Amino acid sequence: MTWWGKLVGSGIGLLGGPWTALAGGAIGHFFDQENQTPEEELRAKLLYHALFFSAAAKIAKADGKISYNEILIVESLIQKFGLHPKQEKFAKDIFRKSKASQRPISQDFKDCGKLIQFNSALAHSFLGGLWEIVKANGYPHSSTQVKCLLIGEEILKIQPGTVKSWFIHGQTHHKTSPSQKESDLDASYRTLGVDPSLDFAQIKKIFRAKIMMVHPDQVKSKALPQDLLVFAHEQAVRLNLAFEAIKRAKGFK
């Protein structure tokens, strides 16, 4: 059994209530008999998508209403996940029903954590997708929505300061400055969450620790489903770009 199979085999058993029943009832409609993927993995993916789009609806509505831009972002997220038409309908149904749900977003985060057994790459990808929705209406971002992300950061056991680095990075790029080059470098330090006064060896050590959590090469050996890691991949790119900018600024090639 693959690492992913073992993960969902243990994680899915911890879940109860509507999500397990929902995925169990829907799984037969989404996958044909030629699909050789183990049923527990298919069910786990459905649960992951159900939890994600449930949380997506709640975070979109957290500032009082769901905007047209947020709807467009949700549509783009469905495309990034590569959902086929029946899965797409499932995701949209979850999103629509969750808008009026009394279930708190914290419970979605808790159930997601149990499902993925707090795997760092999957957790970063889950929260990174929600960050796309928060960015939809531009700067300044809704403090209520950012608060939801911070709740997710804690529950999913993501390194403290990750959401703050996303928020500050976006804030920096919406400011005008006499020196855009300096602003970009400052954003790079904030993306890595490092103090500019640190020497390069210290910064490199911090960078390596963070990239280990999300880099595609670090998760391939665990056979994680790549379609669930799209936002972790994007975070890896952002960390790499920030590190390269700092490296150049400090005179290293």
pLDDT in tens, 104-130: 999 999 999 988 888 888 898 899 999
Residue 18 has pLDDT above 90, yes or no: no
Predicted pLDDT at 157: 94
Of the chain, the percentage scoring pLDDT greater than 70 comes to 72
Quote the CA–CA distance of 108 and 48 in Å, as a whole number.
10
Highest mean pLDDT among 175-189, 191-205, 227-241: 191-205
pLDDT one-digit tens code per residue, 52-76: 999 999 999 998 889 999 999 999 9
Residue 226 has pLDDT above 80, yes or no: no
Average pLDDT score over the chain: 79
Of the chain, the percentage scoring pLDDT greater than 90 comes to 23
pLDDT one-digit tens code per residue, 127-168: 999 999 999 988 778 889 999 999 999 999 998 888 887 776
Residue 15 has pLDDT above 80, yes or no: no
Predicted pLDDT at 248: 85
Predicted pLDDT at 19: 59
**CA torsion through residues 56, 42, 2, 11, sign:** positive
- Res. 194 pLDDT band, cuts 50 70 90: confident
Predicted pLDDT at 29: 61
Predicted pLDDT at 20: 61
